[in-house]
Amino acid sequence: MKNGQLAEGKILGVCAWIAAKLSLDVKLVRLIFIVATIVGFGSPIIVYFTLYIVMKLMR
């Protein structure tokens, strides 16, 4: 990790943050977000940005 960022963060680091918190593989979390976005249930893009805000507040 450098500059306090997650090593696996690709866009905003949300999937890497979730994976670290839940002890999951980051690729699995990314795959879940991709599938959820394609299928469209639960507005995953809104959830993604909401989690980004939560992640920033927790740091």
Question: Rounded mean pLDDT of 28-48?
Answer: 87
SS3 10: coil
Mean pLDDT lowest among 25-29, 36-40, 52-56? 36-40
Q: How far apart are CA 30 and CA 16, in angstroms?
A: 8
Residue 8, domain member (yes or no): no
Evaluate whether residue 29 is within a structural domain. yes
Domain with 31, as residue range(s), is: 14-58
**Is the whole model's pTM more than 0.75, yes or no?**
no
Q: So what's the pLDDT on residue 7?
A: 53
Q: 4 — phi, psi (to 5°)?
A: 75, 10
How many structural domains compose the chain?
A: 1
Q: How confident is the model at residue 2 (pLDDT cuts 50, 70, 90)?
A: very low
pLDDT above 60 for 36: yes
Q: Is residue 6 part of a domain?
A: no
In a domain, 5, yes or no: no
